[in-house]
Amino acid sequence: MDLKCLFKPSTMAVIGVSTSQDSHPANVIYNKNHLRYPVKTFPVNPKGGFINRAALYQSVEDIKEKVDMAVIAVRSEFVSKVLEQCIKKGVGGAVIISGGFAETGNLKLQNRIADIAKEASFPFIGPNCLGIYAPDYVDTFFLPGERIISPDKGNVGFVSQSGGVLVDQMVKFAGQGIGISLAVSIGNKVCLRETEMIEWFDQDVETKVIAFYIEGFEKGEGRKFIEKAEQCSKPIVILKAGKSKKGIEAASSHTASLAGDYKVFPEIMKQYHVVEADNEYELTSFCESLSCYSDGINGNIGIISLSGGHGVIAADACELHSLPIPVIEQETIDTIKVKLTPGIRDIASLVNPIDLTGSSVDNDILTSAMYLLRDKNIECVLALLIPYSPGVSADIGAKLSQVARNEGKPMIAYVPNEDKYKIIIEGFELNNVPVASSVEGAVLMVKALKRYRPC
């Protein structure tokens, strides 16, 4: 099944555009894409008419050009007819925004569109979904563009059963500086499911990490998901909802999912190297970390701080998440001490976590990081920076990134997420070193590397 027509379309028909209701979902989708994106967009309404002086096509079949994708936003009882018209026209695939199917108990209508699509090998997303968002390219979300905070183009592909969770997660990604290659809201996932999305993202050169928000699987679907995940060459991160009795009930009414018993889910995910996030905060941290590093580690952390308090907070977080902080070799300690600035040589604490104090300068941080990365007991270094420390320059992010690259081990930084420190943050991010906006967030990024261990 060729999905390029859906995720990289050249032309799109929006079916259900209203002549009287500007806020209708189809109108919002049409206006956004027609005015802001490169995909050529055609408005469709069976009654005809005009929208902003553009003529409405009465049927998708009336469009003379080839149509890659149709966005269907009509009442549920009309969807099957529109689907048949799309197939007859030779449309490549569809996004069915319309609700009113199995999530409201109308399973018969949902089965009808499933049968029509299956017989024609016609791919579609939904129903009961937002569809797809590709930065600077296409957007089928029926949400006004000025209301959405969208991440930049990046390498995380995100798939969600819930449109609301997807949009909310995009806000979190944008705030943390995480870019996405493609975001897909699959809703009731009648046709295209998580398994097909794994296949797409695995071959997509723009994607390095695949993230999922999952409410549940149908009978036998979970096994298929695991089989695809095992074959996938890229890290997969999952946020699983429907863990409690009430959560299972809510998932069933939301997207008609069978949430199932959560008890065995975490162990199965670990067995097949799928990284499960416990909450949205972990999902964000995990995606950022794995978008930079795709090799798993045992979790042995070396911590460098300019503040003893930050080191203590990091140590507590590491213990909470079962991440070891090993003893540094004496040779490493002696080498670092000799090379430190004379003014801090006798006041710095060189046990792990290392506390270089607020009197340190760039060279002290760089030296400590380099030899800590060379220590055989250390797999990853956390650099907890205090950018308001007088001896820290604006270039420290770029400099530390170079050290990590030369030593060939992962480094994760903590820098407060403020505009004033943007140049330091960008120094890391432009060199593919992830930056957390909290100490715990930095620890969670290491947790992701520990949870992901490729075969």
Cα pseudo-dihedral 379, 384, 385, 391, rounded to 10: -70
Q: Is the pLDDT of residue 265 over 80?
A: no
For residue 127, which of 148, 143, 106 has the smallest C-alpha distance? Answer: 106
- CA–CA distance, 62 with 77 (Å, rounded to integer): 22
Q: Which domains does the chain show, CATH number per domain?
A: 1-126 (3.40.50.720), 149-292 (3.40.50.261), 295-451 (3.40.50.261)
Q: Which two tokens stand for residue 153?
A: 């183009």
- The reported pTM is 0.91
pLDDT for the residue 429: 95
Q: Is the pLDDT of residue 255 over 80?
A: no
At 9, the amino acid letter reads P
Q: Which two tokens stand for residue 129?
A: 């979904």
Give me the mean pLDDT over the 144-155 stretch.
91
Q: DSSP class of residue 39?
A: S
The predicted-structure confidence for 427-440, as pLDDT tens digits, reads as follows 999 999 999 999 99
Q: How far is CA 98 from the centre of its chain?
A: 25
Q: Is the pLDDT of residue 51 over 70?
A: yes
- CA–CA distance, 16 with 34 (Å, rounded to integer): 15
The predicted-structure confidence for 16-31, as pLDDT tens digits, reads as follows 999 999 999 999 999 9
- CA–CA distance, 245 with 252 (Å, rounded to integer): 11
Which residues lie below 8 Å from residue 251, measured CB to CB, with a gap of 6+?
A: 215, 216, 241, 242, 257, 259
Query: What percentage of the chain carries pLDDT values higher than 70?
Result: 95
Q: How far is CA 152 from the centre of its chain?
A: 12
Q: Which two tokens stand for residue 434?
A: 């992830």
pLDDT for the residue 2: 83
Give me the mean pLDDT over the 360-389 stretch.
97
Q: Is the pLDDT of residue 354 over 70?
A: yes
For residue 15, which of 63, 59, 80, 62 has the smallest C-alpha distance? Answer: 59
Beta carbons of 80 and 108 less than 8 angstroms apart: no
Q: Is the pLDDT of residue 254 over 80?
A: no
Burial (CB < 10 A; 0-12, 13-18, 19+), residue 38, is exposed
Q: Which two tokens stand for residue 408?
A: 């060939």
Beta carbons of 329 and 350 less than 8 angstroms apart: no
Nearest 5 degrees, angle CA 22-CA 100-CA 73? 35
Q: Is the pLDDT of residue 212 over 90?
A: yes
Helix axis angle, 221-231 to 194-203, nearest 10°? 10
Q: Is the pLDDT of residue 320 over 70?
A: yes
Q: Is the pLDDT of residue 341 over 70?
A: yes
What DSSP string runs through 140-198?
A: ---S-GGG-----EEEEEEEES-HHHHHHHHHHHHHHT--EEEEEE-TT-SSS-HHHHH
pLDDT for the residue 454: 56
Give me the mean pLDDT over the 71-81 stretch.
97
Q: Is the pLDDT of residue 83 over 60?
A: yes
Among 81-90, 221-230, 233-242, 261-270, the minimum mean pLDDT is found in 261-270
Beta carbons of 17 and 24 less than 8 angstroms apart: yes
Q: Is the pLDDT of residue 34 over 50?
A: yes
At 41, the amino acid letter reads T
Which position has the token pair 């390029």?
Answer: 4
CA atoms within 13 A on the CB side of 370: 15
Give me the mean pLDDT over the 195-216 stretch.
96
C-beta neighbour count of 203 within 10 angstroms: 10
Give me the mean pLDDT over the 201-223 stretch.
93
- CA–CA distance, 313 with 78 (Å, rounded to integer): 57
Q: Which two tokens stand for residue 14?
A: 């929006």
Average pLDDT over all residues of the chain: 93
pLDDT band at 295 (very low <50, low <70, confident <90, very high): confident
Q: Is the pLDDT of residue 455 over 50?
A: no
pLDDT band at 450 (very low <50, low <70, confident <90, very high): very high
Q: What is the largest CA-CA distance in the chain?
A: 82
Beta carbons of 86 and 94 less than 8 angstroms apart: yes
